[in-house]
Structure formats: C-alpha cells, structure tokens
C-alpha cells in the first residue's frame, strides 16, 4: 500500500516534470538565443549549446539603436517605434473595449435592456479575422485610418469588446443587488449608483478584465499585419523586418525582440491566473 | 438599434419621485443609454461592412482597378465569384488541410490536457509552481511562439539535437522544407501552445465536482478510474463541450503561427484557409473573390454556431436534470 503510493507520487513528478520541461524548452531556447553573440546563433548540431558561451547584450542594443559593434550589419528602422506602437495601441484598444463593454454589460445585467446584444457581440469572435477584413480594410483606407495609432486602437477595441463585455457581465451578475437598490431608494440616480456603488465593488474583477483584454490586444498579429504599413507596425509585425535579403536571418536580434514581446503577457498572466478560466470561456465557467 | 427606439418611445413620463415604477423606468432609460456605445460599434463593424462585403463579392472589383469601391458595380458579375469558389481546387485543399490540422491537434490537446489535469486534482508539493509553468505557453504571443518553433525546427536546431541524443544517431531532418514534416512541426507548435488552455479549463471542471460524491464513491470501494468514469466525466459534459468548441473555433482561424513559421510552405503544405485568404488578398489582389469566400465561411459558421448553441442548451439542461436527480437521491 505504502510502496504503491510512493511509486504513484514519483510517477506524478516524472510526468509533471516532463510536461513542464516541454513547456519551457521553446521559451528557454529563445531566451538564451537573445543573449548569444552572432557566432553562436547557428552552429553545427554537435556544438549546439543551450547556454550562451559568451553572453552579450548586443542583440538588444542592435534592435534599439540599429547597429551593434559585433553584428556587422545595420538596420535603418529600430524597435523603438514598434514598441511604442504596441504599447499605445494595446492600451487604447483596452480602454475602448473595457469602457464600452463595462457600460453595456451593466445595462444588460441590471436593466435587462438589449436582450440580443450578448450574442451579437459574441459572434464577433466566431469568424476568422481574415475572412471579414476586406470591407474593414476598405473602410480604414477610406477613413484614412490605415497605419495610424487611432485606427489600430479602434479595431483592437472592437475585436476584444466581446471579452470585456462577457467578463464584466458575469462579474456584475455576481454582485448582490440589495446595496444598489438601497442607494436607489435613497434617491441616488442610476448613474451615481453605478459610479459610486457598483464600480467600487467590482474593482478587482475590473482590473482583471483590463489586464486580460490588454494581453489579448498585445498578442495580436494578423490585424496589425493588415492595417499597418510602416509607422505603426507592432512588435510582432516588426519582427519580419529583421530577416531581409540585406541582413540575413537575424536569429539573436529576433529572439531579443520576441523576448520583449513575450514578457508582458506572461507576467500579467500570472497576476490574473485566478480568473483565466472565466475570461477564456467568456464567463461560461466561473472556476 | 431598433430596440433602442421602441424602448424610448414606450417609456412612461416620470411623475411621482420615488415610486418603484418610476425607478424601474429610470433604470431602463439609463440602461438603454449604457448599451448605445456598444450598439454603435456593432453597427459600425458588423452591419455596414457586411453590406459592403455582399456588394463587393458580387463584382470583380480589386484595389488596383483605379476606381473607388463604390463604383464596383461597373464590373458586376453577380455570382461569378461563388461559381469560382466551388471549382477552386487550391481553396478546397486549404480547407481540407485546416480540417486535418484541427482533427489532429484538437484531440491531442484534449487528451494531453485531460491527462495533465488528472495529475493536478489533489495537492502535492510544488503544485502551484508546476501549474504556473504549464500555463506559460498559452501566454506567449502566438506570432512569437511561431518564431520559437521556427528556430527549434531548424535542421541544425535543438529538436534534431534532442532526437539525435534520444536515438543515439545523427538525426538531420529538414523539418520546415519537407511537406509532411512541416505539417508535424506546425501541429506541434499548436499543441504546445494550446494544451495548457485545455488543461486549465478541464482542471477547473474536475475541481468543481462535488467532493462528497467522490468520497461516498471511495467509501463504497470505487477506485480512481471508476470514480473518474462514473462521477467526474458525466459532470464535466458542459466543460468538455465548451473547451472543444473553443478550440475548434480558434484552430479554424489558425494563422499567426503558420505565417511566421512557414508562410504556408513548403509549397502549400501548411497553407490553412486563413493563409490562403491572405495570399489571395495581398499576392493576387482578388478582393472581390476573397469577399465571396469570407461571406460563404460566415454563413457556414453561423449555421454551425446556431446548432452549437442549441446543443449547448440541451447539454446544460441534461446537466441540470442530473443535478436534481442526485439531490433527490441524497434526501431519499
């Protein structure tokens, strides 16, 4: 009995450890690649090293300044613009989605207005973005929104609206109504109740929603690929610029950029772990 | 928008200050205002573009025609694009390829996710850390994940190194240049990234199974496989349905990882429907054709969604009925 328990425990650690190793291998390989000097980017399979033998910050210096002493080539576009673009557009998109989504969620959850709104918003997530982008690209061109921060922020706000709306709706549904009703009877207007009573009660869920939507916006690739040209390329789209005929495949530089793109969502994701299930299933499962 | 107008018309004129009737009416009015921004955004991004997509799909218009899309009717061809659609072998191949990737990746993710979830049911030292590590892949930006796997699957990359080490021979596979190997590589990337999501949601489902029922079953002598099959699985119907639908919908959209790893290559070996559409949009500039493809997909997916919703409703009702039955059984 006892022996089988020990065996079971060991088996569990073996399997969990193996899965964790597989989960980390790609991340570690890119993470170490970011600190490898050019000579170590590619090498024969027998000399392949998992840790940089001669760690360097050259790759990071290169992507932000356009040249680094040992990297031989130079690029005229650096990662500063794309980093700003990713940050600005993901943030503004998050604000649009969360403000519009929270208001609508409160309206639907409390006042039972717009009964078919939830499903019409959900359908925004159903279709492959590329299948419905033709009219959007034409509209964006017509309105001069292509390759602008406001154009990209607007579309980000729209595509992540379903997550913000559904998440906040389930959070509002969880809040007991007695306090709000008492405030209403006391003579507060519904707006004041919403602003002064309800919102403070859902502060933590609201923060979760904001982080969740930000991660989604930050992770986008396809939309920025279609709706930006050069000035407002986001980090993932800018990665393409690091493998041209001129420079060759800049493994280390790309890895450094990838690392910068990967860190915010991974770090923020740990913060909102508790609510991930709810977020990913549009509030259908509350964990 | 229609709903907004009618609601505002039937609303009674406020009279007494604190009657509940008045409060409800006031609430409805405020609520109506609250959903206006969302409805305007939907109008902007659904209604108008949809009409535009229908219009353009009935023409031969392309962005290099030199005329604004408004005048697309000059090259009107009615259902020409839809006829092309059915005889376009490359498109059907891309759809079949997408379905194939889905058919391999989603069950794999499900089995691996379920297996991992069962390992995490009870506590053990280090559980939280392993949990966080296992969730990391799904947090990585998909395009970056694509680049990670692009590096791993280089012919002189770590995958070949590990395989060489395990088989004790010199493995030199050129993963991304051989069609079926490239397909394996992109599926590996998808499974790596999304198994954590399945694991996360299924684990939440397992942990939600009432503990007293499991304890009762244990006392009656049921071992873990029996408890799992008889108690846990039936209670997870909704969770399993949700996770599978979620993965099917998302994997049908598959684009970022392929675009970064292989650009659909070698040849068209990893060209999914989204990549095919991308190439038609930017290489061939066949925008009216793309509009027709998109619209057809839209109709098919909407029909599937309606059926999916019905199915979900049915599942939830079944689950509710089961819950009542067990409660009844307990009191009896």
Out of 1.10.3720.10, 3.40.630.30, 3.40.50.620, 3.40.50.1370, select the CATH number for domain A80-280: 1.10.3720.10
SS3 per residue for chain B:
CHHHHHHHHHCCCCCCCCCHHHHHHHHHHHHHHHHHHHHHHHHHHHHHHHHHHHHHHCECCCCCCCCCHHHHHHHECCCHHHHHHHHCHHHHHHHHHHHHHHHHHHHHHHHHHHHHHHHCCCCCCCHHHHHHHHHHHHHCCHHHHHHHHHHHCCCCCHHHHHHHHHHCCCCCCCHHHCHHHHHHHHHHHHHHHHHHHHHHHHHHHHHCCCHHHHHHHHHCCCCHHHHHHHHHHHHCHHHHHHHHHHHHHHHHHCCHHHHHHCCCCCCCCCCCHHHHHHHHHHCCCCHHHHHHHHHHHHHHHHHHHHHHHHHHHHHHHHHHHHHHHHHHHHHC
State residue B20's pLDDT score.
62
pLDDT mean over B250-256: 91
What length is written for chain B?
Answer: 332
pLDDT mean over A186-206: 88
Look up the domain containing B22 and give its range. Answer: 2-52
Per CB-CB distance under 8 Å, the chain B contacts of A29 are 148, 151-152, 158
pLDDT tens per residue across span A56-94: 888 898 888 887 777 777 777 888 889 999 999 999 999
State residue B275's pLDDT score.
93
Residue A150 pLDDT greater than 90, yes or no: yes
Q: Which of residues 69-128 of A touch B (CB under 8 A)?
A: 99-101, 103-104, 106-108, 110-117, 120-121, 123-128
Q: Which residue has the higher pLDDT, B311 or B276?
A: B276
Residues B45 and B97 in one domain: no
pLDDT mean over B297-312: 84
Number of separate domains in chain B: 2
Whether A204 and chain B come into contact, CB under 8 Å, resolves to: no
pLDDT tens per residue across span A180-192: 888 888 888 888 8
Spell out the domain ranges in chain A.
Answer: 2-71, 80-280
State residue A47's pLDDT score.
72
Residues B151 and B261 in one domain: yes
For B12, B73, B308, the CA distances from B98, given in Å and listed in that order, are 54, 33, 20
| Domain presence at residue B120 | yes
Residues B104 and B243 in one domain: yes
State residue B10's pLDDT score.
46
Q: What is the mean pLDDT of chain B?
A: 84
Q: What is the CATH number of the domain that holds B175?
A: 1.10.3720.10
Distance, CA of A3 to CA of A11 (rounded, Å): 12
The band of B19, judged by pLDDT with boundaries at 50, 70 and 90, is low
Residues A218, A266 contacting (CB under 8 angstroms): no
Lowest mean pLDDT segment, chosen from A15-29, A137-151, B156-170: B156-170
| Domain presence at residue B180 | yes
Per CB-CB distance under 8 Å, the chain B contacts of A225 are 259
Residues B243 and B171 in one domain: yes
The band of B79, judged by pLDDT with boundaries at 50, 70 and 90, is confident
Whether A38 and chain B come into contact, CB under 8 Å, resolves to: no
pLDDT mean over A275-287: 80
Q: What percent of chain B has pLDDT over 70?
A: 89
Per CB-CB distance under 8 Å, the chain A contacts of B112 are 19
ipTM exceeding 0.95? no
pLDDT mean over A122-132: 84
Q: Which residue has the higher pLDDT, B96 or B226?
A: B96
| Domain presence at residue B122 | yes
State residue A287's pLDDT score.
62
CA distance A67 to chain B (A): 22
* Selection from B239, B256, B236, B259 nearest residue B247 by Cα: B239
Whether A132 and chain B come into contact, CB under 8 Å, resolves to: yes
Whether B72 and chain A come into contact, CB under 8 Å, resolves to: no
């Amino acid at each position: 009995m006892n022996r089988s328990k020990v065996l079971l425990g060991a088996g569990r650690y073996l399997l969990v450890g193996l899965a964790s190793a597989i989960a980390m291998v790609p991340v570690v390989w890119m993470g170490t690649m970011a600190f490898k000097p050019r000579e170590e980017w590619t090498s024969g399979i027998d000399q392949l090293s998992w840790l940089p033998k001669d760690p360097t910050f050259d790759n990071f210096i290169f992507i932000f300044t356009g040249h680094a002493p040992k990297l031989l080539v130079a690029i005229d576009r650096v990662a500063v613009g794309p980093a700003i673009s990713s940050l600005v557009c993901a943030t503004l998109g998050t604000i649009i989605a969360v403000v519009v989504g929270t208001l609508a969620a409160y309206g639907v959850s409390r006042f039972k207005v717009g009964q078919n709104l939830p499903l019409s918003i959900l359908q925004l997530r159903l279709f492959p973005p590329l299948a419905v982008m033709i009219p959007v690209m034409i509209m964006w061109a017509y309105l001069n929104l292509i390759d602008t921060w406001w154009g990209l922020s607007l579309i980000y706000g729209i595509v992540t609206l379903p997550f913000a709306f559904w998440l906040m709706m389930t959070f509002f549904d969880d809040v007991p109504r007695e306090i709000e009703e008492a405030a209403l009877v006391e003579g507060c207007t519904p707006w004041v109740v919403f602003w002064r009573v309800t919102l403070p009660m859902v502060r933590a869920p609201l923060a979760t929603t904001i982080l969740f939507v930000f991660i989604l916006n930050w992770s986008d690739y396809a939309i920025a690929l279609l709706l930006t040209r050069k000035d407002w390329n986001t980090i993932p789209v800018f990665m393409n610029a690091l493998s041209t005929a001129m420079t060759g495949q800049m493994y280390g530089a790309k890895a450094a950029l990838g690392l910068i793109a990967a860190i915010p969502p991974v770090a923020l994701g740990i913060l909102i772990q508790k609510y991930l299930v709810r977020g990913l299933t549009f509030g259908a499962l509350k964990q | 928008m229609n709903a907004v107008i009618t609601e505002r018309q039937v609303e009674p004129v406020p009279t007494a200050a604190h009657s509940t009737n008045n409060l409800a009416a006031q609430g409805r009015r405020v609520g109506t205002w609250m959903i206006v921004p969302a409805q305007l955004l939907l109008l902007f991004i659904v209604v108008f573009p949809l009409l535009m997509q229908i219009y353009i799909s009935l023409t031969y218009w392309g962005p290099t025609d030199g005329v604004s899309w408004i005048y697309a009717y000059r090259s009107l061809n009615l259902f020409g694009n839809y006829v092309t659609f059915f005889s376009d072998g490359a498109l059907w191949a891309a759809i079949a390829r997408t379905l194939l990737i889905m058919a391999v990746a989603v069950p794999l993710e499900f089995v691996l996710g379920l297996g991992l979830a069962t390992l995490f049911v009870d506590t053990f030292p280090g559980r939280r850390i392993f949990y966080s590590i296992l969730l990391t892949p799904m947090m990585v930006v998909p395009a970056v994940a694509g680049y990670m796997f692009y590096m791993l699957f280089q012919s002189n990359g770590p995958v070949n190194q590990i395989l060489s080490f395990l088989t004790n021979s010199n493995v030199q596979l050129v993963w991304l240049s051989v069609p079926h190997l490239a397909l394996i590589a992109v599926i590996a990337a998808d499974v790596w990234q999304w198994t954590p999501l399945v694991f996360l949601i299924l684990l939440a489902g397992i942990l939600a199974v009432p503990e007293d029922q499991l304890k009762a079953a244990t006392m009656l002598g049921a071992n873990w496989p029996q408890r799992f099959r008889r108690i846990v699985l039936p209670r997870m119907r909704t969770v399993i349905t949700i996770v599978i639908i979620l993965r099917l919908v998302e994997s049908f959209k598959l684009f970022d990882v392929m675009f970064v790893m292989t650009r659909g290559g070698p040849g068209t070996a990893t060209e999914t429907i989204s990549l095919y559409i991308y190439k038609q949009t930017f290489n061939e500039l066949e925008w009216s054709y793309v509009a027709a493809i998109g619209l057809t997909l839209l109709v098919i997916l909407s029909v599937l969604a309606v059926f999916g919703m019905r199915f979900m409703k049915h599942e939830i009702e079944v689950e509710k009925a089961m819950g009542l039955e067990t409660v009844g059984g307990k009191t009896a």
